[in-house]
Amino acid sequence: MGSSVIPGAFDAHFHLNPGEHGKEAVKRYKASGGSGINLVNLPDYSIGYSDYYERRYEVTIQLADMARQSGLKVSVTLGPYPLDYFFWEKGGFNAKQMMLHGVELAAKYCRENRASALGEVGRPHFPVEYRVTEDSNEIIERCMQLSREIGCAVVLHTEDLDPTGLEGIHTMIIRAGPNPRKVVKHHASPEFNRICPEISRSILASRDNVRNAIRENIWNFMLESDYVDDPAKPDKVIPPDSVPKRAIMIREQYKNHEEIFASVFQELPEYVFSVQI
């Protein structure tokens, strides 16, 4: 799309690992018309416990530099993954305390403008004991407080949220005080885009999801592949070029594609992730 005023695709939730596989994914993304990604920190429990977040965040920062050198606009999201809880528990640590340390460290990167969001933080996406939910909610609220203080975004990984679930997040937002538009529900269901609409969404870029989200006619969403860059699970969650491919679909099928592009691939990503598209 280069010289056109229409922005290229922006993938709001993209992961990378060191190595050739990740470089290939970036190439494939760019070749399909992608111009920017929000790169989200990945857990790696094989590296052991000592300085876990320190080491993981540095890996993600280096991968962001790699993607920038390949010509992409990149924002960075750092934080403790919800399932880190079980990793810490298994090692005999106080999980909440370790994850809160991960949050404060990520906030430091945000203060230094080396990252623009805390995430993906939240709750395990499957049923867990009450105390895990309680601790996870405390971690979410701390992230929201930091978002209020620093102005960084919060990318939420949770169980699928129905209207009641969204109201619950909204209640936490009221309590902790972040700008709700800076809070992004990752893996959101487009049919609920009108529930608590001030919360931003990032929606898995399947064809159906994109059509459903556009049909809601409310521009509070971005698109994501949630690409995990795992050679053992190629093209998961969906292939790395999914968002650029949906961009082509939008251009071909919607008369108002310029309005859609401006919101989904430029205005909202710029606002949420402070990235210049």
Cβ atoms 185, 196 nearer than 8 A: no
Would you give the binding string for Zn ion spanning residues 196-215, x where CB under 5 A is met? --------------------
Q: How far is the CB of 43 from Zn ion (least distance, A)?
A: 10
| Binding residues for Zn ion restricted to 213-252, rule: CB under 5 A | 226
**In the complex with Zn ion, which residue's Cβ is closer, 4 or 46?**
46
**In the complex with Zn ion, which residue's Cβ is closer, 214 or 242?**
242
List the structure tokens of 54.
């320190």
**In the complex with Zn ion, which residue's Cβ is closer, 109 or 261?**
109
Q: How far is the CB of 262 from Zn ion (least distance, A)?
A: 26
**In the complex with Zn ion, which residue's Cβ is closer, 11 or 135?**
11
**In the complex with Zn ion, which residue's Cβ is closer, 102 or 214?**
102
Q: How far is the CB of 149 from Zn ion (least distance, A)?
A: 25
Cβ atoms 26, 69 nearer than 8 A: no
Nearest by Cα to 259 from 14, 268, 1: 268
Q: How far is the CB of 187 from Zn ion (least distance, A)?
A: 8
Q: How far is the CB of 15 from Zn ion (least distance, A)?
A: 6
**In the complex with Zn ion, which residue's Cβ is closer, 226 or 229?**
226
| Binding residues for Zn ion restricted to 12-31, rule: CB under 5 A | none
Q: How far is the CB of 92 from Zn ion (least distance, A)?
A: 27
CA distances from 93 to 79, 152, 225, 232 (A): 18, 28, 33, 29
CA distance 235 to 218: 29
**By CB under 5 A, how many residues form the interface with Zn ion?**
1
Cβ atoms 178, 144 nearer than 8 A: yes
Contact set with Zn ion (CB under 5 A):
226
